[in-house]
Amino acid sequence: MLTRRQISEKIPDLKIYENEPMHAHTSFGTGGAARLFALPAGAEQIKELMDLCKSSEEKYALIGKGSNILVGDRGFDGVIICLGDEFAQVKIDGDSIFAQAGASLIGIAAAAKRAGLSGLEFACGIPGSLGGAVFMNAGAYGGEMKDIVKTVTVMKPDGKVMQLSGEEMHFGYRHSRAMEEEMIILDAKMQLAFGDEKEISAAMSELMKRRAEKQPIQYPSAGSTFKRPQGYFAGKLIEDAGLKGFSIGGAQVSEKHCGFVINKDHASSADILSLCEHIQKTVFEKTGVALEMEVRKLGDF
Ligand SMILES: Cc1cc2nc3c(=O)[nH]c(=O)nc-3n(C[C@H](O)[C@H](O)[C@H](O)COP(=O)(O)OP(=O)(O)OC[C@H]3O[C@@H](n4cnc5c(N)ncnc54)[C@H](O)[C@@H]3O)c2cc1C
């Protein structure tokens, strides 16, 4: 079992914490502690840390802003590698934007707007990191990362760093090659188009208005809990199954949008998971449709 001291001896400049509460790093606001929690500032530190974990048979997992994960109440008995502010450079070059994985997608969308670059309007309300957005092929209102990602720098599980084109990322609905091959997204270049700042700003305001009208953004959640099943809408299936407002512990099917499971009142991750399982079972019994979680589980429940 690796200790903080052992890691600090090998990688002296790495920010690393012990028993870090994961509720502070997830948009659900739930989850137990990570035994070790690291904030690498560059690809070398990620590789060194990964190598150290492997040689010590230590479990590790990667997160960005924690807006699409559910961490178990018993936490994570290993090293959480979080790509955040330490790894968040953003550079605009003509009509393209380069960003490191830890950069905020909302921040990148705002930078694009200020530079009069169009293409990231869809992302202005998606509260994750660039790395998480590429990994998930995040999307909204008809746009998705697939449309704008030109190249991605990834680290493979053997530590090799390579650059892939957008096509080589095998993007699909909430899917990317990084999931298939356990790649770490290090950075990406996005191809945008010159546009008019006022029009971009108006489009973003409109999308934010629609979000505020339709989604329970005043409660902690991870956005849409389930993937959209082909030919259906998860929220409608859940509402038709009579589950609007249904609660387990502090977790509730949002009354505003049934596609969202929210942390209504001091929910635990166990409450959220039990509610998700109940929804899946009920919807399957009533409609024969198997809902698949979009939110990814992490750690010990
Ligand atoms: C209020 C709200 C609204 C939302 N709306 C939308 C929406 O409209 N559309 C949408 O698609 N999503 C939406 N989401 C979900 C979420 O914001 C996205 O999935 C986001 O892209 C996740 O990024 P993250 O950095 O938070 O990833 P995390 O939650 O930290 O991680 C998600 C997954 O990505 C992996 N991962 C993260 N970073 C990397 C990396 N650098 N390399 C490899 N793997 C990585 C993690 O291992 C994990 O499996 C919403 C969430 C909330 C809370």
CATH architecture, range 234-298: Alpha-Beta Complex (3.90)
Instruction: Give the pLDDT of residue 98.
Output: 98
Ligand 1 pocket mutation, candidates 22, 45, 62, 68, criterion most atoms within 8 A of CB = 68
Residue boundaries of the structural domains of the chain? 4-84, 88-213, 234-298
Q: How far does residue 131's CA lie from ligand 1's centre (Å)?
A: 8
Residue-wise pLDDT for 10-28, tens only, equals 999 999 999 999 999 999 9
Instruction: Give the pLDDT of residue 92.
Output: 98
Q: Of the listed 174, 177, 268, 269, which one is catalytic?
A: 174
Measured distance CA(247)–CA(254) in Å, rounded: 9
Instruction: Give the pLDDT of residue 215.
Output: 97
Q: How far does residue 153's CA lie from ligand 1's centre (Å)?
A: 18
Ligand 1 pocket mutation, candidates 67, 76, 146, 164, criterion most atoms within 8 A of CB = 67
Same fold, 4-84 and 88-213: no
DSSP for 185-205, written as a single string: EEEEEEE-EE--HHHHHHHHH
Residue with the nearest Cα to atom 11 of ligand 1?
138
Instruction: Give the pLDDT of residue 255.
Output: 97
- Residues 92/103, Cβ–Cβ less than 8 Å: no
Measured distance CA(154)–CA(223) in Å, rounded: 26
Residue-wise pLDDT for 64-88, tens only, equals 999 999 999 999 999 999 999 999 9
Ligand 1, atom nearest to 67 Cα: 26
Instruction: Give the pLDDT of residue 296.
Output: 97
Q: How far does residue 125's CA lie from ligand 1's centre (Å)?
A: 12
Active site residue 224: yes
Instruction: Give the pLDDT of residue 27.
Output: 98
- Cα dist. 77→104, 179, 183, 202, 207 in Å? 27, 22, 21, 46, 39
Residue with the nearest Cα to atom 51 of ligand 1?
223
- CATH code of the domain made up of 4-84: 3.30.43.10
Q: How far does residue 69's CA lie from ligand 1's centre (Å)?
A: 7
Strands (DSSP E) found in 65-140: 69-71, 76-82, 90-93, 96-100, 117-118, 139-140
Q: How far does residue 76's CA lie from ligand 1's centre (Å)?
A: 18
Ligand 1, atom nearest to 105 Cα: 21
pTM: 0.97
Active site residue 174: yes
Please state which CATH class domain 88-213 belongs to: alpha beta
What tokens were used for 132? 């998480």
pLDDT < 70 positions in the chain: none
Protein residues with CB under 6 Å of any ligand 1 atom: 27, 62-69, 83, 101, 126-129, 131-133, 135-136, 138-140, 178, 184-185, 217, 221-223, 296
Residue-wise pLDDT for 44-58, tens only, equals 999 999 999 999 999
Residue keyed to tokens 């959640």: 221
Ligand 1, atom nearest to 138 Cα: 11
Active site residue 294: yes
